[in-house]
Structure 1
Amino acid sequence: MPRPILIKNARVIDPASGIDRVADLALREGRVADIGEAPPFDDPIIVDAEGLIACPGLIDPHVHLREPGQEHKETVLSGSMAAAAGGFTTVCCMPNTSPTLDSPEVLSFLAERAQDARCRVFPVAAATVGREGQLPSEIALLARAGAVAFSDDGDAIASAGVMRQVLGLVRDTGRAFMQHCQEPTLTHGAAMNAGEIATTLGLGGWPAIAEELIIERDIRLNSGIGCRYHVQHISAAGSVDLVRKARGKGLPVTAEASPHHLLLTDEACLGFDTMAKVNPPLRSMADVEAVRAGVADGTITVLATDHAPHAAHEKDADFGSAPFGMIGLETAVALYHQALVETGILDWPRLISMMTVAPAALCNLDRMGLGKLVVGGPADVTLIDPESAWTISTDDFAGKSANSPFIGREVGVRPVATIVGGELHAGRLGARVKEPAPQ
């Protein structure tokens, strides 16, 4: 059983209950014991949190942990270390592994690996067998085996007939379907956003309509089915408009935004910088502004990193053959703050809500008490220093990979610790932590 923890004088922000005040937070036996005036404990670990934010443990519903099959890029353990360094207490991992997360046996393997993780790890199972888009996987069985959502992430389900089947099957489990929105016949051979820069670099262009067509098709297919439908890593202005209109009609459609689509444009690809090669691609400033506007007006409700590690030798290739993807767990809080809080789009409570309440609801984790601070609920807490200037460096990465286009960027906030089920991962707290004296 973990030792009691007393967090003193933190700015406690819990969007689920509307709490936003300086208070003490008491944790005992892996649960929240009190918020406010903390009760006396025998020999607690005391954290001096003056000037820090204490919030529900952050949740990332879209990460790639690469295990099984690609352990040279990341493992469940190393990915969980990256998550803890970035302030996340829960991650949901995508099924594009080898073998695919499409059977109870592979989900059981993942659960075994997660026992040693530094955060909670939940599987998003493949919606089709082998992620091949041809035959629905055993969706009901996978839900009973622990899948918190379904996706063929990395690919869209191209067949409308298969997609319609999947929507009905996923609906019956009460889970959400997460779509990687990419019409494959429009993106074959593409390496970056279609536009002037792609033409200048002589690279295949990836049009925004490839994303928009899948969203529009799926919204229509889902009419009358009512599956919870989630757009992953939304990147294009037209896509935001489609989601906005669907939500305006009361349809069960949600969307997520990743840090890079809120901060970077396709200009980052100049010089053939493979660190900026990502799927979906970085787009125009108009698209960035549209994604930000979608966050501002509530069209986009979830923030998710799409943490996609690759080994250095894989990214050290020509732009056309280098893999898509960038890491995001360790830098997400600082980058979201820079894109959304420093610009006046969000305040701290709403930013935290999009990283706790919303992803918990998306993946049914709210039923486990995650995403909120409530007496008797899980003692999952993130501590953030809102006044910590630092420059992103490879030294800050706890995972196996360092494929980030943000290296060298100056940022102004930083997670300093996580608590998972009452276990303190002190991170950068230093002298703020006072252990009980030995007996």
Structure 2
Amino acid sequence: MLIHGGTIIDPASGIQARGDILVKDGRIESIELGQSLERAADQIIDAEGCLVTPGLIDPHVHLREPSEGQQHRETIAVGSAAALAGGFTTVCSMPNTLPPPDSAERVGALLERGRLAGNARVFPVACGTIGRAGESPTDVASLIQAGACGISDDGDGIADDDVMDAVLEQVARADTCFMQHCQDPSMTPDAAMNAGTLAVKLGLGGWPREAETSMIERDVRLNERHGAKYHAQHLSCAESVDAIANARQAGQPVTAEASPHHLLLTEEACRDYDSVFKVNPPLRTSADIEAIKSGIARGTITILATDQAPHPPQAKQTDFASAAFGMVSIECALPLYRKALIDDGVIDWSRLIAMMTIEPAALVGLEHLGRLTRGGVADLTIIDPDLEWTISAEDFLTTGRNCPFEGWTVTGRAITTIVGGEARWSLQGDSRLTLATGH
């Protein structure tokens, strides 16, 4: 395979230049900058006018399998195919499944299901506590040895101080990462949206920002004696950005992520009781959006993650207070990040790609991915940065239709997603992709 004429962006090496990439046997054989590679190839992809980047990585995706006794139609195969359509070559699956991955056997089964699906690479994040119940720590070392890429009880935070302390100790010893769903449940009974005057007016339970920030501050305090890699998921408020900044300035190995909805939507979207806008943590204020953007600009927040959370229609088509939390955006995340961060002048394309490649790869110990190197794994994403299109959930591969960006016109799209040297997804009807085959 020859990828010809695109602008190659590889944050790991600092490359941002026009060039060609030759792929052979699943590996990058050569990268030529500034001139064409005159080589025979079984497939030539015309990337003229496009960006050619390392395969995108999403470290926070809900694939919903296994789902014993649940109504979910999403599977590892479906969810990993949806990831390809968004330009993602690798996803990290969250552990809030039934049963949850709290044993080496269950982690191994998830890895095998991902391999058999043959779409984006799937790496499971395993449970921090047995049964994801928050009461007894799992055997972290055995979970990592079985192939888990990190540890989390996502869907819930670990509220008990002693349990969290024990989990962090194991995470540090195993040299892996802990991803915290930052929510103190004692502060969020019956909470449905951001706490404030709008929640009171709508008669909905309010979700205080302290529920998020206090858990981050507690975890940072506990982690002072362990030094574990600690990652705060889906930051939603200004105070949490400050808490992460303080921890990083103190030298703690702390990272954080931002999601599309917390960069583009506010609590005002909930005014009409449309449950598609119900998410955990909740949409907050425009001031919080600006704080998150500032955190990205300053390097406090280093990772972008969708928190892809598909639900069947019946879980969302009910009253706001009773509806399930969660949104889908993995198939349109790239242009949404562009809109929020590049078009607003917060960061440039190179930094955006870094936050979707080398940064998440480093978090979950997949440093061989997320970069373009000679002899390296040929996971690549080809992006048309100027392609304008309208988001329609009906066109998504995911079974979830709970997309809060329905009808938005956006710019930029992944048009080809390559995993292990194989073009596993391309935008239907895009005639630029394959110039020739078998010559």
Smaller-chain TM-score bracket: over 0.9
For the pair 1:433 / 2:429, whether they are aligned, the reply is: no
Q: Quick check: 421-430 or 129-138, which moved more? A: 421-430
Q: Which residue of 2 aligns with 1:67?
A: 65
2-structure distance, mates of 1:85, 1:434:
17
Q: Quick check: 14-23 or 242-251, which moved more? A: 242-251
SS at match of 1:361: helix
SS at match of 1:97: coil
SS at match of 1:329: coil
2-structure distance, mates of 1:416, 1:58:
13
SS at match of 1:288: helix
Say if 1:188 and 1:34 are closer, same or farther in 2 by CA, change over 3 A: same
1-structure distance, mates of 2:391, 2:300:
30
Q: Which residue of 2 aligns with 1:143?
A: 144
Q: Which residue of 2 aligns with 1:27?
A: 23
SS at match of 1:386: strand
Shift of the alpha carbon at 1:73? 3.6
The superposition leaves residues 307-339 of structure 1 with CA deviations (integer Å, 9 ceiling, x where unpaired) of: 000011110010011000001210110100000
Q: Quick check: 421-430 or 306-315, which moved more? A: 421-430
What amino acid is aligned across from residue 20 of structure 1 in structure 2? Q
Q: Which residue of 1 aligns with 2:97?
A: 97
2-structure distance, mates of 1:38, 1:370:
25
Say if 1:357 and 1:186 are closer, same or farther in 2 by CA, change over 3 A: same
Shift of the alpha carbon at 1:391? 1.0
SS at match of 2:341: helix
> What residue ranges of structure 2 are gaps of 5+ in the alignment?
none
Contact 1:122 1:148 in 2 (8 A): yes
> What residue ranges of structure 1 are gaps of 5+ in the alignment?
none
Shift of the alpha carbon at 1:279? 0.2
Q: State the number of aligned residues.
A: 433
For the pair 1:424 / 2:420, whether they are aligned, the reply is: no
Q: Which residue of 1 aligns with 2:326?
A: 325
Q: TM-score, normalised by structure 2?
A: 0.96
For the pair 1:18 / 2:14, whether they are aligned, the reply is: yes
What amino acid is aligned across from residue 361 of structure 1 in structure 2? A
1:344-355, aligned counterparts within 5 Å?
344-355=345-356
Q: Which residue of 2 aligns with 1:83?
A: 83
Shift of the alpha carbon at 1:211? 0.4
Q: Which residue of 1 aligns with 2:337?
A: 336
Contact 1:7 1:48 in 2 (8 A): yes
SS at match of 2:18: strand
Say if 1:402 and 1:416 are closer, same or farther in 2 by CA, change over 3 A: same
What amino acid is aligned across from residue 220 of structure 2 in structure 1? I
Contact 2:192 2:321 in 1 (8 A): yes
2-structure distance, mates of 1:90, 1:101:
19
What amino acid is aligned across from residue 315 of structure 2 in structure 1? E
Shift of the alpha carbon at 1:91? 0.1
Shift of the alpha carbon at 1:168? 0.5
Contact 1:180 1:231 in 2 (8 A): yes
1-structure distance, mates of 2:310, 2:66:
14
Q: Which residue of 2 aligns with 1:48?
A: 46
2-structure distance, mates of 1:317, 1:350:
40
2-structure distance, mates of 1:315, 1:162:
33
2-structure distance, mates of 1:112, 1:125:
15
For the pair 1:390 / 2:385, whether they are aligned, the reply is: no
Contact 1:6 1:38 in 2 (8 A): no
Q: Which residue of 2 aligns with 1:58?
A: 56
